[in-house]
Structure 1
Amino acid sequence: MEKPREVLVIGGNRYIGKRLISRLLAAGDRVTVLNRGSSAPPPGADHLVADRDDERALAAALGPRTFDVVVDQVCYTPRQAEIARRVFAGRTGRYVMTSTVEVYEYEDSIAPVREDAVGPLTVPVDLELPWEDPEFLDAHYGEGKRQAEAVFAAAPDFPYTAVRMAHVLGGADDFTGRLDHYATRVRAAEPIAVPFADQPATYIHVEEAADFLAWTAGAAFTGPVNAASHGSLTTVDLCEAVAARLPEGKVVLQLVEVGEVSPFSFFRSYGMDNSRATRLGFTFGTARQWLPTAVAETLGKGD
């Protein structure tokens, strides 16, 4: 009988993370969840408590443990990546970092971007920036992820991959409130602020995101990989899908040239090319096909 894999999941006890853990346990993996103790792991998973920003405490919590795979759901800064790289060097055969489409925030391309548009080894790392400041980190989310990827990539003997996740939709437990933003305005026929030239973006359903992370944990490739369903969506597509569930409402668009716009409204394209993952063997769904289901789940009107 094949020995179960030892998998560590750092953070991510909700939304995508809890679905990932469920898949790993169902596959027969021995799963350990590490967080700061704010929430218990799902039944069947072991639990370690530590602040991942405290290198000494993190190493102490791990003790002599080693893992076949580490899935890091909450690495946001190069400082966190530096600590993780030092602590997990020699402890794991594979390190999967959940990254983001936001690493491409400066790549204003009409065509979907490939992974080589942002090569981690070309990204300068600045550990002296105020990464511990929540406001700074929130304003530099994509930059934090870019530099975290760069830290892992700089160690040639550290077997990492960075999953650049598209914008995630779906699930009754979607805590972001972004689709609720549209639902509130559609119900009340209130204006929805969008750019004059509203640009498309790529998306992924929360269940597909968990499938992709679980698949990546069991793969052998390294480096960055884009995770996005086929096809792109605009704000109008999202509004129409919400309105289809709220026939008593009305979509009222307010076109703006500059300034704040609604969630998932973009002045530039956020399309990702998913061909690398497809070649490696993952089968993506199509965003337009699952969008009505995602809206129904999020608005609490699932079929």
Structure 2
Amino acid sequence: MQKICVIGGSRYFGRLLVKRLQAAGHQVTVINRGSTRPPAGVEHLVVDRNDEAALVAALGTRTFDAVVDQVCYTPVQAATAARAFRGRTRRYVMTSTIEVYDPATAALTAVPTATPVPEETVDPSTWPVSTDLPWHDEAYLEAHYAEGKRQAEAVLTRAAGFEFASVRSAHVLGGGAREFTGRLAHYVERIARGEEVTVHAEALPTVFIHYEELADLLLWAATAADFTGPINACSDGLLDVRDLSAVVAARTGRQPVYRTVARGETASPFSFCRHYAMSNARAKRLGFSFSRTTDWLPGAVAEALTASAVRTA
């Protein structure tokens, strides 16, 4: 049994992670602001992780084998966590994102379109950090989501007092109504109603991961693995927007209606005009086995169809 702290953990794959940690026999503590209670038997610390003094007070004398941070979005939050958990945990795992590789958000080394992007494309040990930017402004944070994650990784990579690993998640799908982003529902509902799906003229592929697989990977990263640095978390197989729509079409019985967007016009989610589909080779070398996206995606579409029918009934 290990003592694991989860910051966030109130919804989607974070909540599932908490349940899986508990089922594996670990002693789990969840930290959030109290809007959602964790499952019975899980210790709950109600505190705003942005309030360093309150966080330190809530932690008291607790120590952990690992911390899994689900809701770290800025270098300021990362710095607060680094100070609060220094000497309290052996290992710190942060949930990051595929968006750190988006070439539209930073000057990155170009990776050939046919080549999945490796972790070293964004090296947190050398990435510049600016904590004096307006990270507390919600509009600024939303517009600089990818950079916030890059800088948060950088701060925690350089922190002393614990091992640090970041899990850069692909686009997460599955779970029907639990999939709170609504991106898969966008396709299910539009294709089922015969409405147009907007796409780029040459839409490039991306990568996905099922929410249960991501929860399993985070559990492994926190309790069984000993790697440090970033790993990419994505199921095997690249899909573009038309591949995704074809799976939805097979379930709905309706053919997609596409409209190509003009330059500068926003397309449907998962239609990309730039390449940043990740490679999962490092995670495989470290011992994690991934599913294939095409194996679980039809089931995820079926769940989204059911959830959509419930919403519109």
Q: CA deviation at 1:184?
A: 2.0
Among 275, 287, 295, the alignment partner of 2:301 is: 295
| Structure 1 CA distance for aligned equivalents of residues 69 and 241 of structure 2 | 30
Q: Which amino acid aligns with 2:37?
A: A
| 1:216 correspondence with 2:221 | yes
Among 140, 143, 150, the alignment partner of 1:139 is: 143
Q: Deviations over 1:42-83 (max 9, x none)?
A: 122110011000000000110110000100000000000000
Q: CA deviation at 1:157?
A: 4.2
3-state SS of paired residue (1:160): strand
| Structure 2 CA distance for aligned equivalents of residues 267 and 287 of structure 1 | 21
| 1:242 correspondence with 2:239 | no
Q: Which amino acid aligns with 1:201?
A: T
Among 183, 192, 204, the alignment partner of 2:197 is: 192
Q: Deviations over 1:95-146 (max 9, x none)?
A: 0000000110125531111111110022111111111111111111110000
| Structure 2 CA distance for aligned equivalents of residues 260 and 28 of structure 1 | 46
1:100 alignment partner in structure 2: 97
| Structure 1 CA distance for aligned equivalents of residues 162 and 90 of structure 2 | 8
2:51 alignment partner in structure 1: 54
3-state SS of paired residue (2:89): coil
Q: Which amino acid aligns with 1:57?
A: A
| 1:20 correspondence with 2:17 | yes
| Structure 2 CA distance for aligned equivalents of residues 186 and 299 of structure 1 | 11
| 1:85 correspondence with 2:89 | no
| Structure 2 CA distance for aligned equivalents of residues 263 and 133 of structure 1 | 25
3-state SS of paired residue (2:29): strand
Q: Which runs of 5+ in 2 are unaligned?
A: 309-313
Does structure 2 retain, via aligned residues, the 8 Å contact 1:195–1:258? Answer: no
Q: CA deviation at 1:187?
A: 2.0
| 1:206 correspondence with 2:214 | no
| Structure 2 CA distance for aligned equivalents of residues 158 and 85 of structure 1 | 9
Does structure 2 retain, via aligned residues, the 8 Å contact 1:231–1:287? Answer: yes
Q: Which runs of 5+ in 1 are unaligned?
A: none
Does structure 2 retain, via aligned residues, the 8 Å contact 1:78–1:147? Answer: yes
The root-mean-square deviation of aligned C-alpha atoms, in Å, is 1.4
Q: Deviations over 1:186-222 (max 9, x none)?
A: 1222211111110100111111000100010111111
Q: Deviations over 1:3-57 (max 9, x none)?
A: x211000002110011101110111000010000111011221100110000000
Q: Which amino acid aligns with 2:272?
A: F
Which runs of 4 or more aligned residues in structure 1 lie more than 4 Å from their structure 2 counterparts after TM superposition?
none
Q: Which amino acid aligns with 2:193?
A: A
Does structure 1 retain, via aligned residues, the 8 Å contact 2:90–2:161? Answer: no
| Structure 1 CA distance for aligned equivalents of residues 24 and 217 of structure 2 | 14
3-state SS of paired residue (1:283): coil
